[in-house]
Structure formats: structure tokens, C-alpha cells
Structure 1
Amino acid sequence: MNRTFKALLLTLFLAAIGLSIFIHKLIASDVPLLPNQAFKSWYIEAKISFVSQPSPLMEEELPTTVKFHLPQDSQRYNIVEDDFVNEGFTREIETDKKSANRLAVFTKQDSNDVSDFIFYRANIKRKAGLDPIEKDVPISGRRLVDKQMIRFGENTERAKDNLQENLPVTEIINLIQEANAKSRDRLSFVQTIYQLALNPEDIRIKAISRNVRKPDSTVQVAAFLLERAEVPVRVGNGIFLRGEEVYSTDFVEWLEVRDGDEWLVFDPLDQSFKAQNSYLTWWYGTDRILQAQGANQVDLEVVVQPDTNQGLTQSILDDEKPKNPFLEYSFLRLPLATRCHFNSNGIDRRWASCCDGKFRH
């Protein structure tokens, strides 16, 4: 009887420990417990790789300057923290007051110890009081993909040259007049212009598409025409934060029009205008997310992961005094560059890209 009683006590003790750990992890993290629940925070990891192919007569080329757009606060999401690995490059972050675009400018130093990649990581949190998005249909229905980019800015310069030398004035006027005849107000004018821009076989649209950076982008063609009609518009670029464990992502672009004091997104799927609260806004404009000078090839990879350690992460970011003494020695307290040295031991596979040049997930 004594032995059975001791075994029962030990079983209850171990069960209590297991239950306590489960409850603690559930409270201290944002891991959903039920299928209808969703993550509240995410990690965004972007890796810029300089893939040079030097000739026998030339040394390996690394960019002298890299300009990279950073995500910004939006109606649904906040940027909690930015972190970088840019060995051999100085870093300066510029913010445009008009568009709120954040631009990280990396300049190569005169040093032999220059890395062949730049790594960026952000912690994103959904604002309190906002429900998760159930639908994942992109507003524009189009993706802006820059997986492998060579000679950054080439398309932009071509579009600028066409604007100066081959501006299709007749086609622009003709399309604006047609849209005016079919519209009753500014918003219906935007709807009509977008519908006209959806027809790539229209010879007028073909002529105009040569004046935008991405000729096959309906959003950019429509924005180009609306700007000529003096309608305040802008092109938004961002990503959709899903509730899946791990996934890669592409950029989505959308069209916004100013109506009074607010910006409204045009959704071509249902022809409606609404506030932009579906995406994490990365930048506004038709320029690339990334520009590099002095490199013959640059690759960009973006990966998004839900943050399953949000309670621990937030305590560290807020610099709170940890209630648990183990928090004081948490892996998350280490600087970003220092964490990379531990990947070979399997401590955090998400950071392995810092060390071996590949995203692991």
C-alpha cells in the first residue's frame, strides 16, 4: 500500500508539472489552442544576397549602396522591433514624411571583411481589438514578385525615358475622356479607369504600359492614368499575414484613392472602396522594394513566420524585469549577430539563414 501511494503521489506531481508547463506556454505565447483562433504576432525575415559571377579579369563585385524599403505601421499591424545583420555595411534609416515610407540605406565600407548578404528581421503585432482576417483573397488579385532581380532600376529608368520622349498624349486624353463620359463622380471614374486598364489588348493601354515600371501591372497603369487626370492616387505594396505555421510570401500591390481626409483601397473583385486593413503595408509607390548599385545580381527572399514565443518576446522587447529567472538568460536576449553562432547546435533553425545563406523553416 505504501508503495502504491508513493507511485500515485509521484504520478500526480508529474502531471501537475506537465499541466503547469502547458498552461504557462499557453499564456506566455500566442500559439492558438483552437482551430478558430489565430496568431497575433509574426516574424518577418528578409535576406538580400549578392550573387556575383566574376570573370577571370574582374574581381567579385559587391554593391556600393543598397536601398531597401522596410515595412511600416498600418491600420491593422504595428512594427514592434527591427533588427539587422549588415557586416561590412553602414546603415541609415530614412523616413519619408509624406508617404511614411521607411528606407534602409546600406553603404559598403572600405574593408575586406564585407558579407555577401544583408539580413533583416522584424517583429509584427496585430493591434488590440482587431479580429483576424478570415479571407485571404488579395485586394488587387495580382502579385508583385521580385524573387531574382538583376540590374536594379533598369525598368524604372526605361519608364522615365519613355515619359520624356514617348509620352502617349493622344491615348491618355482619349482614355480619360471615355472614362469621364461613363462616370458620375470621382470614385466611379476610378472604377472605369481600372476597367479600361484591365484590357491589355487595347492599343491605347499597350502604348501607356510602356511608361510604367511593370507593363503588365493593371494597378500601375491605372495609377498612371489617374495621376494624369489629377486624381490623388497611390500604389500600395505589402504582404498578407496568414495564420499558418510557416510559409514564404510574395508582395501584393493595390490601388488607393484619396477621398476627403482618408485613403480608400479599390477592390476590383467587388468594385468597392474600403479602408486598407487587410495587409501589412511595406511601402507606397511604383519603385522596387530594393535597389542596389555596383552589383551584377542581387536576390531577395522574404519569409514570414508566426511568433510562437510572443509573451517571452514582448517582455524582452519591453525590457521588463523577468518574473522567471530563466528569462534573464533567454536566447532571445542575445544580439542578432550572436544568435547566428548557435544555429549549428539547432537552438533556433529560423536563424540558420544568417550562417549558411539559406532560409530554414
Structure 2
Amino acid sequence: MHSKKPFYILVALLFISGIAASVFRGIEHNVPFLPGKQVQSWAVDAKVSFQGIGEPAEVSFSLPNDPAFEVLVENASSPGYGLTISQDNQDQERRALWSVRSATGLQNLYYKVTLIPTGTTQVIAEQEPTAPKDFIWPATEKDAAEQVISKVWAKSATNLTFAQQLNKALNAAERTQNVELLLSSNTPTKLFLHMLHSKGVPAQEVSGLYLEDQRRRQQLSSFVEVYNDGEWILFDPSNGTQGRKDNLLLWDRSGKSTLDVTGGVNSQVNFSMLQDTRSALATSLDVMKNQGALDFSLYQLPLEEQSLFKGILLIPIGVLMVVFLRVIVGLKTSGTFMPVLIALAFIQTTLLTGLIGFILIVACGLMIRSYLSQLNLLLISRISAVIIVVIGIIGIFTLLSYKFGLSEGLTITFFPMIILAWTIERMSILWEEEGPKEVLLQGGGSLFVATLAYLAMSATWVQHWVFNFLGIHLVILAIVLLMGQYTGYRLLELRRFKPLAGDK
């Protein structure tokens, strides 16, 4: 006797691989596990304006590069300008560079981007930053700054607690005279940054944009990031808060100027934004496309082939239903997998129309087949004749449906004609050998299995899973293999033992 251990190992590997592949796709690529899920997106427009002075002009503008938001689509509108988008991997900086030979008068350049939240609010440092240069205080501020820094430093234990205590001191309800003096000639952001650098704490100024629906002419706000244990912690010295809000987009983290204009004066940038809702599945596909992760996905196929595969990938679900109902339950069907093909036709015709059409076609076919049996034809000729008859029956029913205005009847052309012909042939032989009772039993069983398979295959979440999570098919294969090892009683066979139970 062969050991079944390799078989069970294979089944376990298929099951685990299928589940792991599906979970990985859902988590890594953000493919929703349920259909119809929606995500929030933000459309942000940046308008760059400046006065041209009749000379060649170059406009360098920082682009968003925030791990908390994924860039889906970005484009720029700049008639007459050349445009180059560059990325500095070392500084994690993206910039747009517009250029033109001559710019005179008011110039308007537009940059548009669509963003979705990623749920990742932490900003992890790519590498440990270098120690900042010691800030040289003006003579009029040196003593005051040193006293404030010394006092706060004594109350801290780490770079992070020093930043927290310093931020608290700059925003205290009753600030000291030294702090008031320093704030009179410095912005809170610059003062906070200079004090951190004076103690060698790695910190950098960043620009952020608060995303609020239907807001126009918004400006960037200044923040400070403080390095601590491989992570950049955000502080807002203007109000004394730490951390970032969900609607804050870090637009520029390079520490450089957001907008540089050469060949123009009076430059400025204003932002407008709009919140929208879009499909989570479409969003994940756009993200994977941007990342080049669709190379081996069914979504890279033309739409016609995608539609074909959406139908083909439903077949394993129908097969699973057939195996369960035949092997475990013990239902009889006319043909092994004929109910699966009928269920596929039901998806196109709807259930009620499909049942009525199937019964009418098979009933008419059986009557004509009974006449053909009297002619003593060869099997091939008889089957061929039945196929032609089935086509004729479908054609007649379709024309009658059209004449009577029954549009649902037009869909019966989706029935597999060859399968119907073989079904009629098998039922006719069964009628002759076993009688009408067995025909009704197997025919009714086929329709019942086809109906259950249709209900499973037409479920929206099933169609979503089998197409977007291909690992599910490995799980189905593992279950089918396991049921293939079942040799016990079918559920419908257990009723034979009812008399043994006695009356209770």
C-alpha cells in the first residue's frame, strides 16, 4: 500500500500557497478583498505665477514625495514651455523644471496631481543624517538663545525629548523674555530649527499642505522634522504640536526652496484641492501600473481577452460544486460537468429564463429524438441530426420570443448547442434503458446542480476573487483533490439506514 503522506503534503502546499498568494496580493498591492470598496483620493492643482522680464526663464518647482500619499496621475499644463521632471534618489527629491527662451508679462504654469492615502504616516530615514552645522547667533541674540537652550537642555534626556521640551517652551502660555526677544526677529520654525542645530540635533525644515475639500488659493505651511532612531518626527513650532494629521501632505522634504524662478520676478505658487471617491480596485491597478507590477497580471491583456478569462475562471467554482454534490451529497446528473456549462449559460440568460429555455429545448429535442430512434441511424448521423435539430429549436424559440416582444428569450442562444445535443442523446438512451423516472431524476439533479453552481458563480464577491486573487484556484484544487479521496457513504445514501435507527 502506497503512503498517502506525499499526497497530503501536496494538498497542504497547494492550500497554503493559494492562501499566501491571495493574502500577499491583498496586502502588498492593496487589492480589496471585497468588491465595491471605495477609497478617498485628492486632486491637487498647483498654479505657479510670475512676471516675465523678456529674458530666458527657468522655473524649478518641487513635487510631492510623501510616503503617506501615493501619486496616481500627474501632469503639467505649460503651453510654449519645455518640461523636465527629475528625481534625486539621494535626497528623495522630485522637481519639475519649466524652461522657455523668452518670457514677457504674466506667466502661469500648472501642475496637477491625483493622490491617495497609503496609511503610512511614518517617515523612515533612508540613512542616518550627518550632524548639522552649528548655527552662529547674532550678537544681539546669542546670550538669550544660549540661556533658553541651556535651560531646556537640562530638562531633556534625548534628542527627541529636547525637541519636545523646546517646542513646549516656544509655545508656552507665558513665555520668558528671552523667548519673546528671539521670536521678535525669527519665525517659530526658524528659531526652533536653529536651536536644534545649536545642540547638534539633526533636523530639517519641510513644507506641507493641509488637504481640505474644495479649498482654493492655499499656501504651504512650514514644519520641522527631527531625526530620532531612524525616523523623522514632525513638529509644528507655530502651535507647539507634534506628529502629523491625516490630511497633511508633505510637499517638500528636501530642505531647499520649493519654487525657484530665473528670468522672472514676483513669483508665487497657490494650491487648490478637491476630494473625490474612486474604486479601490481601479486605484490598486493604477498603483501597480505605475510600479510596473502588472507585467504578469491578467489586467495587461486586452479587454476582450479579460472578459473571456472572467468567464473561464468561474469554471473551477462550478467544478467544485459538482464534485461536492456528486461525491459528498450523492446527487445524480446527466453528464459529469454538463451542469457547469449550463450554469455558465444561466449567467448570460438569467436563472428563470435559462431554466425555462433549457426545459423547452430538451423536451422538444427528446420528442424529435424518439422519432430518430425509429430510423435506425448510425450514432454519428443521429448525433449530427440532433445537433441540427437543437439549432433549429433555438432559432425558432428566438424568433418567437422576438415576435412576442420577449427580449429575455433572445438570450437562449448562449446555451452550448453541442452539450444540449449530447444531453438529449443521453436522456433518450436512459429513457429507453431505465425509464422516465431515471430521466427525471438525473435531469432534475442536473438542473439542481446547475442552479447551485449558477448561484455560486454569479455571486459578485466570487467573481471578484477568482479574477483578482488567482491563488484561490490553488485552494480549490486542493479541496477537489481531498474530496477525490473520499470513499465513504454519500449523504443521500444514509437514508437507507433510517429503519435501523428505530422509532424514538
Give the alignment's TM-score, normalised by structure 1: 0.54
In structure 2, relative to structure 1, the CA distance for the partners of 1:322 and 1:312 (3 Å cut) is farther
Structure 2: state its 5+ residue gaps.
1-34, 122-134, 290-298, 305-504
Amino acid across the alignment from 2:166: I
8 Å contact 1:28–1:309 — kept in the other structure? no
- Residue 195 of structure 1 aligns with which residue? 168
Query: Does residue 40 of structure 1 match 2:31?
Result: no
- Residue 238 of structure 1 aligns with which residue? 208
Q: Deviations over 1:257-283 (max 9, x none)?
A: 221111222467997755776522101
- Residue 65 of structure 1 aligns with which residue? 58
In 1, Cα distance between the equivalents of 2:153 and 2:138?
27
Q: Deviations over 1:299-347 (max 9, x none)?
A: 32211112356679857884966759xxxxxxxxxxxxxxxxxxxxxxx
Q: How many residues are paired up?
A: 243
Higher RCO (C-alpha 8 Å, min separation 6): 1
Q: Deviations over 1:25-80 (max 9, x none)?
A: xx8895xxxxxxxx51111111112346xxxxxxx5466221111111323x1112
In 1, Cα distance between the equivalents of 2:150 and 2:176?
19
* SS class of match (1:116): strand
8 Å contact 1:45–1:119 — kept in the other structure? yes
- Residue 412 of structure 2 aligns with which residue? none
8 Å contact 1:65–1:294 — kept in the other structure? yes
In structure 2, relative to structure 1, the CA distance for the partners of 1:111 and 1:280 (3 Å cut) is closer
In 2, Cα distance between the equivalents of 1:201 and 1:103?
41
In 2, Cα distance between the equivalents of 1:271 and 1:167?
25
* SS class of match (1:255): strand
In the alignment, which of 291, 294, 297 is matched to residue 260 of structure 2? 291
State the Cα distance separating 1:115 from its structure 2 match.
8.5
In 2, Cα distance between the equivalents of 1:191 and 1:44?
32
Q: Percent identity?
A: 19
Amino acid across the alignment from 1:223: L
8 Å contact 1:239–1:250 — kept in the other structure? yes
Query: Does residue 300 of structure 1 match 2:269?
Result: yes
In 2, Cα distance between the equivalents of 1:186 and 1:111?
48
State the Cα distance separating 1:223 from its structure 2 match.
1.2
In structure 2, relative to structure 1, the CA distance for the partners of 1:182 and 1:64 (3 Å cut) is same
In the alignment, which of 73, 77, 89 is matched to residue 85 of structure 1? 77
In 1, Cα distance between the equivalents of 2:239 and 2:98?
41
Query: Does residue 263 of structure 1 match 2:232?
Result: yes
Structure 1: state its 5+ residue gaps.
1-26, 31-38, 53-59, 133-161, 325-361
8 Å contact 2:56–2:102 — kept in the other structure? no
Amino acid across the alignment from 1:64: A
8 Å contact 2:50–2:107 — kept in the other structure? yes
In 2, Cα distance between the equivalents of 1:297 and 1:96?
27
State the Cα distance separating 1:194 from its structure 2 match.
1.8
In 1, Cα distance between the equivalents of 2:183 and 2:236?
22
In the alignment, which of 219, 236, 241 is matched to residue 189 of structure 2? 219
In the alignment, which of 80, 100, 125 is matched to residue 116 of structure 2? 125
In 2, Cα distance between the equivalents of 1:247 and 1:322?
39
In the alignment, which of 241, 247, 266 is matched to residue 215 of structure 2? 247
In structure 2, relative to structure 1, the CA distance for the partners of 1:312 and 1:45 (3 Å cut) is farther
Pick the structure with more helix per residue: 2
Q: Deviations over 1:75-114 (max 9, x none)?
A: 3x111222112233332333344442222222223599x9
